[in-house]
Copies of this chain bind each other. A is one copy, B any other.
């Protein structure tokens, strides 16, 4: 996982490298195929500095769950990432 990216998210934004589809985690979490909005899993690779009185909770390296349609796609060095606000992240695994 590359986290030496030359990109700095602003404020409460977080850059995430999505996990390959269908992958199982060490703790055995699988995202069901039938859910209307399937949560997705990925690794945090860059974070903003937070909002005025609220530093971010997630850290670079965290594996996180987020909504299927959250964030904006961006390609860096041939890899796909997602930029989203921390409020769009459900949980840290």
Q: Interface residues, chain A, CB within 8 Å of chain B?
A: 5-11, 13, 15, 26-32, 35-37, 39, 46, 48-49, 52-54, 57-58, 65, 67, 72-78, 80, 83, 86-87, 89-93
Contacts and interface: CB of A to CB of B under 8 A. Distances in A.
Contact of A89 (B10, B15, B92): B10
How many copies of this kind of chain does the complex include? 7
A39 B10 CA distance: 14
A9 B83 contact: no
A75 B30 contact: yes
A14 to B, nearest CB: 10
Contacts of A93: 6-8
Nearest to A88: B10
Nearest to A9: B91
A32 to B, nearest CB: 5
A78 to B, nearest CB: 7
